[in-house]
Amino acid sequence: MSTVTEQTADSVHEGHDHHDHYEPFWKKYIFSTDHKTIGIQYGFTSLVFLAFGFFLMMVMRWSIAYPDRAVPLLADWPWFQAWLDDGGKVTGDLYNMFGAMHGTIMVFLGVVPLAFGAFGNYVTPLQIGAVDMAFPRLNMASYWFFLLGGVLMFVSFFLPSGAAKAGWTNYSPLATTTDLHYGDLFWTGQTQWLMGMVFLISSSLLGAVNFICTIINLRCQGMTWMRLPFFVWAMLVTGFLLLLAFPPLEVAAIMQLMDRMAGTSFYIPTGLNVSGMAFDAAGGGSPLLYQHLFWFLAHPEVYVLILPAIAIVSEIIPCNTRKPLWGYKTMVYAVMVLGFLAFIVWAHHMYITGMGPAISTFFQTTTVLISVPSVILITSLLISMWGGSIRFNTPMLFATAFIPMFGIGGLTGLPLAFSLPDLHLHDTYYVIGHFHYVVAPGTIFALFAGIYHWYPKMTGRMMSERLGQLHFWPSLILMNGIFAPMMFQGMAGFHRRAFDGGKAYEQISNQVFAEANGFIANICELLGIVGKNEPVLMIDLNIVTSTSAWLLAVFQVPFIINLFISGKFGKKAKGDNPWDATTLDWATPTPPPHGNFIGEPVAYRGPYEYSVPGAETDFTPQGEKDPVIVSTAEGEQEKPA
Amino acid sequence: MEIPYEVKPRRDTGLYNAKLGVWLFLASEVMLFGGLFSAYVFLRTGIQDGVDNPWPWGLNVHKGFVWLGFLNTLVLIASSVGVVFAWVALKERNWRKYQIYMYFVVACAVVFMCVKTVEYNSKLNKHHGIKLVDNSVMEGTILEKTDRIRFEGNRAVFGLQGALPAFLKDISDEDFPAFTATVQFKDDEDPQVTEISSESQFKKWFHQNRRTASKKLTAERRRYRAEMEEFGKAAPVSLNTSATVVASEPFQVNAKPTKVVGHSDSSVNYRDGSKVEGKLISDDVKFVMHEVDLQLVLPQKQRDSIIWDVINDESAKQQFFAKQQKHYEEMRDYYEARGETIPEKMLRGHMLNLQTIDHEDHGDHEEHHGEAPHKSEAKHSAGGGHGDHSYITVPRDKIKFMGNHGPRYGNYYALYFTMTALHGLHVVGGALVLLFFTVFGKKLYLKNPEHLANRVEVGGLFWHFVDLIWIFLFPLMYLL
Amino acid sequence: MAEETHDWDKHKKTYWAVGIALFVFTGVTLALGLVPILDLGPPGPTPADFVIGLAVAGTKATLVSLIFMHLNHEKGLIYKTLLFTFLFFVGLMALTLFAGADPIIEQYDTRETTNGKLVEKP
């Protein structure tokens, strides 16, 4: 047996004390096989992509709010010359391109790599007491595949055809027939999107194999299934989602690549006409096939976006309420059921493709069923806070905000689960609002919480509380300022792909949102959105949304400053375990050296032993041998899924 | 730092890391090929009779390939057996035997890929089909490059934004003409004239002018915005970004039909907007025909099909309908014997409507189902009623779709190429890994033979999986 | 481990037997396609042909996976993973097919496709 790391203050400060041998710079920081370095690489890359995706969206929001004004600041950039119109306004092509790439970048290059790649990589091996991932070199390969895919996506903006323009879903036959007039089909954005996806998917597959192997085979002694922190459970389920759901999308991408490059007609129906001309293909394919294969991935992908967020939050809440996670076992089973059901709900994205009532009913039923485990997870988190003495530090604020925001996102999804209301709401801003409530103030808030929470472990210094608060409160308000108006607009019938923000559809966009001289109208008048004695129209909400989005960008500046400055000048963390947390990741030196633990870690009890009656402190670390406390852990159990 | 359970299995899971890893990987591979098999079933069951291309079943379609597929199946099974015995040899600590088995496996993989190449080559280069405007199809071989639009150009017009003009690739490198290129961005500017004599010069000139065009456009737009801001109105942006090249003497263009949106006697219009002007030499397709396929033509319209005008051979027509009648009677007998009537679907099916045409003077076409006649043979043998050659001339305006039996030709071919190519990639990858274990394995073998045995077991698992996929591909792609 | 003491000669015999069986089954597959008598139902691929052809392929696949890939004595974890993979694969194929086979359009559409052209139903 071995000893668990002593929390001595001197072992904290100098990270390089722990390095047992010298490694050259490029090996240590660039081609590293250490899961922590790779996690940080993932983190930085994905934060850059998140910022880039956010930038694309801000340009789009300008076109929506002020469709007849030139885009400020950008009109003279050489790249924009090709895509803005003569007056410097956003063109439909540019809007489509940015829309497609905003979705792709945010989902595949931003949130998933940050949630699964960065946090999963950094935290999972630490929490299970492993020295590294099961296949460190594979881990490195998966990062470099990811980067390659990201670079291809980014470079595609600079091709003559621009980047992909057919929406982040890339539906055929639109995606197949776009940009066909460019001489070299391979170097068009649409084709490069597919190439990029093939690399990103390969990266995810390698990553998923690695995660599952690590969690199953590298748990330290005593770390039984029911002693795994919930974070690890969520990562395991996420790993399986990626492993089994991504290959059909890879196939779909390969087939679309064949359609574009080799002239096959997997997704081209017989007799297709493009711009009034018969499309030169054999035909006989089915656009529906693409949608099925795409959504077979893309629905589980939603849970890939969400589960790591819930995982992070469920680490932060017990730690800051000083109470065990309520309903740990229920949550574990719920997350497994969720993982299973995630595979058989996909066609609820396709109600308006003409699916018959029988199959629609099946998918409606599974879709409603899947809300049960989601609600179990959220309710457990909520009850975990009940009666605790809560420390409202920045990570906890973000984690707390996550719950209602994700709740709104989830509940607004219910109407979309039924085919009848979906006919009305499909492809409106309502869908955008629903999805973004889940992912933006939901997942991204949880990711922020995670960054604030594990930052002291990564650097040995705390992030500034004050800047954190300055980051949190405006973000919370502005996030709602962005997405709440979308719900109203969506129900009024605003179509999501109108690049002029619905100006061309007067019947829809001139509906009254709030009567003149009412409370809301007065506020809007004060803000200069509407004139005196004018009602607030639905289309006026565009300005509210867009302004909120730009302001949101401004209030990310405190976070960026915090992220970079605190590493050098932040307050030093007290010991290896500044939050007094229980899980094994806090039992390592700070920052953890290559190999993570000093000695071999052993898990003696469950992961959330906070405020155990009779214990000396209000937390009892998993790795601390203490005969006073009776272990609550179950025996060895097999993992069902 | 050492990762635990690299060689020895973990006690409670009973697995070492790599084995767990490879099974997880295989699970994802099941879903990968599962997606393709789903596509196969979805597309094949989704065929609308009489509208979509029928699935080309039947040994009369690919008899020659069945034997190649069969051979490949045997080769893969042999290699699978080889891998198992290589692993056993390692377990028995017999390095020599292990090596022999492994080299045998790699040799099998090489044979497999060679057979595959033969098959691909035959499909891509020797088998063609033409679908005429009334959906009748003729199968055979297009004579060398006559699917191209042969054109004699002397002038070309194209835009200076975006990629290089498409016609450039259709000019053969040897006789790249001497061009005089003219660019005039604005009417009041002097035109810039450049002499170009090679492709590299052309590219350089193009890129240079593309940059200039983009700069001028920026300046124009800046002026426009400034004027708009100041006066509320402005002269619109006008910039002529197209360029013209004139050749000193006519140059040969062999335009690829898939890149062309339209052509006339005096010009060829490309998909990317570029245009070559000159004189059309010929756009007729020369075709050596083996089979007529009328599955997409209604039975009552078959005798008046446009295809008989194109073939222009009464004996071929008679032969087709005689054979059709014979097959019909066979089928009728089959159903009558069981007291049933022939289903409608059968009447439209390929047994009736896909017939080999034997030309009188070229009676040995039967044996060419597997491989097309050699070019020389086709040219020199005297055809029945088609002048001196056995080929027929198909006018382009009668053609709806044409191509080789490559992935473009229909969903069967698309799936065939996608699935076998993906499978082939797996074969190559697996063989490389196994070869690596054989050539560079000795060091590990001396250090820790069990570790090498584990690696070979894991590599073997992958190899068996590749074999397993082929076991399903063979009947689905060649027989059923 | 206990496996070290295995009698490899016995295993080898099994592997040879399986190898030969695989060759034989490949021959059967080919014969099913080539010999007219073995072609069930009317000429051409009928559902019966598919069932038989895929059954033979399935048998071969089972042999390979059980014996060559040692699935006959594998750990429970792997069975479970493969079970779920198989379930999801079946779900993908079956649900996609059902969705394709249950279109709402034919019931309510007044047009029909005849010979590649849309015409109004009588």
pLDDT at residue C108 in the model: 56
Helix axis angle, A92-104 to A35-65, nearest 10°:
150
pLDDT at residue A2 in the model: 39
- Over residues A235-279, the pLDDT tens digits come to 999 999 999 999 999 999 999 999 999 999 999 998 888 888 888
CATH of the domain at A357: 1.20.210.10
Q: How far apart are CA A452 and CA A397, in angstroms?
A: 10
Chains touching B (at least 3 CB pairs under 8 A) are A, C
Residue type, A580: D
Tokens of A59: 């340009």
Q: What residue in C sits closest to A288 (Cα-Cα)?
A: C100
Contact A270 C104 (CB under 8 A): no
Q: What integer is the mean pLDDT of A110-115?
A: 96
What are the angstrom distances between the C-alpha of A15 and each of A119, A584, A587, B474, C56?
20, 19, 15, 59, 62
Chain B residues whose beta carbon lies within 8 Å of the beta carbon of residue A595: 1
In the numeric block, the tokens 């030093």 are attached to: A572
Most confident of A498-512, A546-560, A600-614, B153-167: A546-560
pLDDT at residue A407 in the model: 95
Q: How far apart are CA A123 and CA A126, in angstroms?
A: 5
**B246 interface with C at CB cutoff 8 Å:** no
The answer as to whether C90 is a domain residue is: no
Contact residues for B178 (Cβ-Cβ < 8 A; gap 6+)? B195, B196, B197, B247, B248, B249
- Tell me which residue in B4, B35, B417 faces A248 most closely, judged by beta carbons: B35
- Tell me which residue in C92, C100, C107 faces A288 most closely, judged by beta carbons: C100
Contact B28 A180 (CB under 8 A): no
Chains touching C (at least 3 CB pairs under 8 A) are A, B
Note whether B21 and A135 are within 8 A (CB).
Answer: yes
Q: How far apart are CA A177 and CA B271, in angstroms?
A: 12
Q: Given a cut of 90, is residue A140 above it in pLDDT? A: yes
Residue type, B310: V
What are the angstrom distances between the C-alpha of A315 and each of A453, A609, B123, B133, B256?
9, 12, 59, 67, 61
Q: Given a cut of 70, is residue A19 above it in pLDDT? A: no
b/e code A4-34 from CB counts within 10 Å (16+ = b): bbebeeebbeeeeebeeeeeeeeeeeeebbb
Residue A486's Cα: distance from chain center in Å? 20
Contact residues for A438 (Cβ-Cβ < 8 A; gap 6+)? A302, A305, A306, A406, A409, A410, A413
* Surface-to-core class of residue B269, CB atoms within 10 Å of its CB (0-12 exposed, 13-18 middle, 19+ buried): middle
Residue type, C18: V
b/e code A293-322 from CB counts within 10 Å (16+ = b): bbbbbbbbbbbbbbbbbbbbbbbbbbbbbe
pLDDT at residue B257 in the model: 87
Ranges A159-163, B333-337, B361-365: which has the least confidence: B361-365
- Over residues A201-247, the pLDDT tens digits come to 999 999 999 999 999 999 999 999 999 999 999 999 999 999 999 99
- Over residues A38-93, the pLDDT tens digits come to 999 999 999 999 999 999 999 999 999 999 888 988 887 888 878 888 888 999 99
pLDDT band at C82 (very low <50, low <70, confident <90, very high): very high
Chain A residues whose beta carbon lies within 8 Å of the beta carbon of residue B241: none
Contact C100 A296 (CB under 8 A): no
Q: Given a cut of 80, is residue B361 above it in pLDDT? A: no
- Please name which of B309, B302, B313, B386 lies closest in space to residue B348, comparing C-alpha atoms: B302
At A273, is the secondary structure helix, strand, or coil?
A: strand
- The helix (H) or strand (E) run that includes residue B137 is strand B137-142
Neighbours of B272 (CB within 10 A): 22
Note whether A42 and A103 are within 8 A (CB).
Answer: no
- For chain A, give the number of residues: 641
pLDDT band at B362 (very low <50, low <70, confident <90, very high): very low
At A619, is the secondary structure helix, strand, or coil?
A: strand
The strand pairing partners of B255, in sequence order, are B149
Q: How many domains does chain C contain in total? A: 1
ipTM of the complex: 0.92
pTM for the model? 0.91
Chain C residues whose beta carbon lies within 8 Å of the beta carbon of residue A640: 80
How many distinct helices (H) and strands (E) make up chain B?
Answer: 12, 13
pLDDT band at B479 (very low <50, low <70, confident <90, very high): confident
Sketch the domain layout of chain B as residue ranges: 17-127+409-479, 137-145+286-403, 149-283
Which residues 25-64 on chain C approach chain B with CB closer than 8 angstroms?
26, 29-30, 32-34, 42-45, 49-50, 53-54, 56-57, 60-61, 64
- State how beta strands B354-356 and B149-159 pair: unpaired
Tokens of B147: 């699917």
In the numeric block, the tokens 């068009």 are attached to: A188
Best residue of A213, A255, A288, A292 to probe chain C, by most C CBs closer than 10 Å: A292
Contact B406 A595 (CB under 8 A): no
Residue-averaged pLDDT of chain B = 86
Q: How far apart are CA A1 and CA B123, in angstroms?
A: 66
Q: What residue in A sits closest to C91 (Cα-Cα)?
A: A344
pLDDT band at A638 (very low <50, low <70, confident <90, very high): very low
Sheet holding B267-270, edge to edge: B192-196, B179-183, B242-255, B149-159, B275-282, B267-270, B260-263
Cis peptide before B54 (omega within 30 of 0): no
Chain C residues whose beta carbon lies within 8 Å of the beta carbon of residue A270: 116
Q: Given a cut of 80, is residue A437 above it in pLDDT? A: yes
Chains touching A (at least 3 CB pairs under 8 A) are B, C
Backbone angles phi, psi at B224, to 5 degrees: -60, -45
Q: Given a cut of 80, is residue B363 above it in pLDDT? A: no
- State how beta strands B399-404 and B392-394 pair: unpaired
- Over residues A409-436, the pLDDT tens digits come to 999 999 999 999 999 999 999 999 999 9
Q: How many domains does chain A contain in total? A: 1
* Surface-to-core class of residue B199, CB atoms within 10 Å of its CB (0-12 exposed, 13-18 middle, 19+ buried): middle
Q: Given a cut of 60, is residue A197 above it in pLDDT? A: yes
- Please name which of A439, A441, A436 lies closest in space to residue A402, comparing C-alpha atoms: A441
Q: What integer is the mean pLDDT of B4-28?
A: 93
- State how beta strands B285-293 and B137-142 pair: antiparallel
Chain B residues whose beta carbon lies within 8 Å of the beta carbon of residue A279: none
DSSP assignment, residue B244?
Answer: E
Tokens of A433: 């609002």
The answer as to whether C94 is a domain residue is: no
Best residue of B73, B297, B340, B344 to probe chain C, by most C CBs closer than 10 Å: B73
Tokens of C12: 């080898």
The answer as to whether C3 is a domain residue is: no
**B135 interface with C at CB cutoff 8 Å:** yes
At B154, is the secondary structure helix, strand, or coil?
A: strand
pLDDT band at B364 (very low <50, low <70, confident <90, very high): very low
**B424 interface with C at CB cutoff 8 Å:** no
Ranges A16-25, A140-149, C16-25: which has the least confidence: A16-25
| Ramachandran sector of residue B339 (left: φ over 0; alpha: ψ -120 to 50; beta: rest) | left
Chain C residues whose beta carbon lies within 8 Å of the beta carbon of residue A295: none
Return the CATH number of the domain spanning residue range B17-127+409-479: 1.20.120.80
- Tell me which residue in C64, C69, C81 faces B27 most closely, judged by beta carbons: C81
Tokens of A9: 């203050």
Note whether B359 and B312 are within 8 A (CB).
Answer: no
The answer as to whether C64 is a domain residue is: yes
Residue ranges of the alpha helices (H) in A180-270? Answer: 189-217, 230-261
Tokens of A389: 């003495």
Q: How far apart are CA B10 and CA A441, in angstroms?
A: 41
Q: How close is the nearest chain B Cα to the Cα of A441, in Å?
A: 32
The answer as to whether C50 is a domain residue is: yes
- The string of DSSP letters for B265-305 reads SSEEEETTS-EEEEEEEE-PEEEEEEEEE-TTS-GGGGGG-
Tokens of C116: 């590649």
Q: How far apart are CA A632 and CA A392, in angstroms?
A: 28
- Please name which of B452, B464, B411, B320 lies closest in space to residue B52, comparing C-alpha atoms: B411
Residue-averaged pLDDT of chain A = 90
Tokens of A259: 């359609």
Query: Who wins on pLDDT, B374 or B473?
Result: B473
The answer as to whether C117 is a domain residue is: no
User: Which residues constitute the domain of residue A440?
Assistant: 10-19+36-462+571-587
- Over residues A458-496, the pLDDT tens digits come to 999 999 999 999 999 999 999 999 999 999 999 999 999
The strand pairing partners of B243, in sequence order, are B158, B183
The answer as to whether A337 is a domain residue is: yes
pLDDT band at A307 (very low <50, low <70, confident <90, very high): very high
- Tell me which residue in C84, C102, C116 faces A359 most closely, judged by beta carbons: C102
How many contacts, defined by CB atoms under 8 Å, are there between A and B? 200
The answer as to whether C26 is a domain residue is: yes
Q: Is the dihedral of CA A531, A535, A540, A544 positive or negative?
A: positive
Q: What percent of chain B has pLDDT over 90?
A: 45
Q: How far apart are CA A396 and CA B138, in angstroms?
A: 72
- Tell me which residue in A350, A358, A641 faces C102 most closely, judged by beta carbons: A358
